[in-house]
Amino acid sequence: MVSSRKPLFWGLLALITALGGFIFWLQVGLVASLGTLAWSGIGLQSHLSGAASGLLEGDYPAGEAEFELADASTATLLKSIDTSQVRLMGYVPGVSAAVDNWRASVEAASSISAATGQLIGLYGDLSGESGGDRIFADGRVNLERLELLPEEVGAAKTNIDGAAIQLAGITAGTFATGPLDSIRNKALNELEAVQQAVDSLNSIAPVLPNALGASGIKRYLIAIGNQAEMRASGGAPLSLLMIEFEDGRISIPLKGQTSTQLFPPINARINWFGPALNPFFERNPRNNPFVVTNTHPNFIYSAREMVSAWSGGWDGPSYPEVDGVVTLDLTAIAAVLDAIGPVESEVYGTVSGDQIGQILLVDAYADFGQEDAQQRQDANQELLDTLLTRVLSGSDLVPAAKAIAETAPGRHFQLWMKESRLENLALQAGVAGVVSDPGTGDWSAMYTQNGNQSKVDVFQQRNVLVTANLEADGSARVTQQLTVNNATPADRPDGPPERVGYETMWLKSAYILYVPDAARDYSTSYPSGFTVRPFKGHSQLGNGWVDDGFGHRMIRLVGWTPPGGQSAVSISYTLPAGTFSTDRAGRLEYKILSEPQSLFIPSTLTLQVTGPQGFTPVKQAGMKITDATATLSAVQSGPVEATIRFNQ
């Protein structure tokens, strides 16, 4: 009997040995693959972050070096899923889903890495640091190189979109895979912003050659807004230049000071046709100086007024039609100098980003009197010419463009284009200067407009205080108060008795105030001596209120603020039940969007929201709570979106 069992024994031993060897082989392979995945995944995340930081900081060599390391990590990751053990486990029930998730994660990481490499290559060509042909150099656009842009951006878009699909395909349907679900969702959320940016780039790439003169001359008006004298949509356009693109060549055939050089003798009135529904002009044709074209808070109207006024005059200067308008102010120009370094001026010396506002908006008006205005304007033009020459040389274009774009949320850079696809891109990118009720929650849009040609808006210190009392049904009674301090230096003389011109320290302002579209029972409050200035020639809504031409209601109050003085105006209104809804957890949410104005000193927004009886505020960073009232403050360097929650 013993001898008859030997074959079975040895057979079982062989089977156990083989199975043990198989398990050992499987374990070693899987452990190695998992280790590779974890180690390379950590490295990939670090290097991709480093590559992105290099792009954001304009450091191409650092970004490229980090990408090469990320690419190596990606190659290692791809090897982790290309093993016999992993392929075998893909056939095991209950394990195959994990293997599929593994593969999807690695493939998504590979796609993101490939897109990063493509974008870094594009950045290198734009900046001229890749060693290839630079897209822009010495005042000329390389149109042949630009024609390749759509294909390159399209490839990056394909990779980014593929990564999103791969991440979305990761399944996490069990308790054990809950953390994976969170990681996947976080990755998708972070990827969404990248997708939007690449989508915008993908949309603009095909139209760039034509926009830059590939099919004929394109002209663009650039207005430099002076924040010492504000308009609702930006600083007064006291300096203008027209840039011309023809077959890739860039020139500036027209430039100068608006009031004396382009529209002499001093802010001469001109005639033009503008948007019929713009309430800031009584009738068509207009008959006003160019410097008041940007009075409407919404840049879509103000830009169209600029375009028409520039080329529409028939009894004075009439310049070539332009295909778009760009506005920049001293905040944007300061950001450029911070990015590329200071410039030299024969009059002002070395001018850096942190000095230019003080030099041009404060010191220049103190140093040059009314009689010396031409000297000041010539010095300003010389400084602007020096800066433009440097930027248009090409080497500083990428950091300059990036710096300007970063000021767009505060409306220090705005763009309007006649070509619909380009204008849609400006709208999508948030650089079109739109003023519009979001349609949900509360809305704050408050502006000042200089009315006496003074240059004291640079000293303007502003606070917007929003107090809201909520009811349990989601309705609210709201008051918005705009307070302006005319914080001119105490040692400055008041100026001429008529209180007009840039030597006066008095401020005459028009306060342009909106109420939300859903507001009811709205009213205004203002100091003694202030008046409601109606918008003539347009359909009236009663008590000075008017449609702004876009379906939103606004009013204009006008009054004087002495040097060192303070003025406050306010609007009050009711928002109906359901505006601020209660969620399933019984929380009441107050939400508001507050629009910025491109002041030299940004406004401060303060929210004081009181919940209904039985509700208490939910604490968040920076919040002060007193009984049922929550207080939050923010600097309005861009649109402010805030949410304050209350628990019952």
Residues 425-436: b if buried by 16+ CB within 10 A, e if exposed: bbbeeebbbbbb
Out of 176, 211, 246, pick the residue that ends a domain: 211
Number of domains in the chain: 3
Domain identity same for 205 and 232:
no
Residues 384-415: b if buried by 16+ CB within 10 A, e if exposed: beebbebbbebbbbbbbbbbbebbbbbbbbbb
Domain identity same for 100 and 28:
yes
CATH of the domain at 296: 3.40.630
304: closest CA among 330, 317, 328, 286? 286
- Residue 383 located in a structural domain: yes
Domain identity same for 120 and 235:
no
Any idea what DSSP says for residue 260? Answer: I
Out of 211, 231, 246, pick the residue that ends a domain: 211
In the prediction, which pLDDT does 157 show?
A: 80
Domain identity same for 109 and 82:
yes
Out of 166, 189, 211, pick the residue that ends a domain: 211
- Residue 435 located in a structural domain: no
Helix (H, G, I), strand (E, B) or coil at 287: strand
In the prediction, which pLDDT does 59 show?
A: 65
Domain identity same for 618 and 570:
yes
CA distance 218 to 322: 7
- Residue 266 located in a structural domain: yes
Task: Kindly report each contact of residues 85-88 with a partner whose C-beta sits within 8 Å and lies 24 or more positions away, as own/partner.
Answer: 85/25, 85/26, 85/29, 85/30, 85/33, 86/29, 86/30, 86/33, 88/26
Domain identity same for 202 and 71:
yes
Domain identity same for 397 and 498:
no
Per-residue model confidence as pLDDT tens digits over 544-572: 999 999 999 999 999 999 999 999 999 99
Domain identity same for 237 and 385:
yes
Tell me which residue range forms the domain holding 377.
218-429
Helix (H, G, I), strand (E, B) or coil at 367: helix
Domain identity same for 240 and 342:
yes
- Residue 91 located in a structural domain: yes
Cis upstream peptide for 317 (omega within 30°): no
- Residue 109 located in a structural domain: yes
Tokens (6 digits) for 207: 């139209």
In the prediction, which pLDDT does 494 show?
A: 92
Q: Is 429:196 a contact under the CB 8 Å cutoff?
A: no
The pTM score is 0.82
Contacts of 605 (CB under 8 A, 6+ apart): 444, 463, 464, 466, 594, 633, 634, 635, 636, 640
Considering just the CA atoms, what is the radius of gyration of the chain in Å?
31
Domain identity same for 286 and 223:
yes
In the prediction, which pLDDT does 103 show?
A: 65
- Residue 434 located in a structural domain: no
- Residue 185 located in a structural domain: yes
CATH of the domain at 574: 2.60.40
CA distance 517 to 607: 20
Domain identity same for 234 and 193:
no
514: closest CA among 475, 485, 476, 556? 556
pLDDT along the chain (648 residues), means of 10: 44 43 39 43 54 60 69 62 55 57 66 71 67 70 79 79 72 50 58 66 79 90 95 95 90 90 88 94 93 97 96 71 95 92 90 90 80 80 84 75 90 95 88 95 97 94 97 96 96 92 93 98 97 92 96 98 97 96 77 97 97 93 95 96 93
- Residue 161 located in a structural domain: yes
Domain identity same for 18 and 81:
yes
CA distance 625 to 622: 10
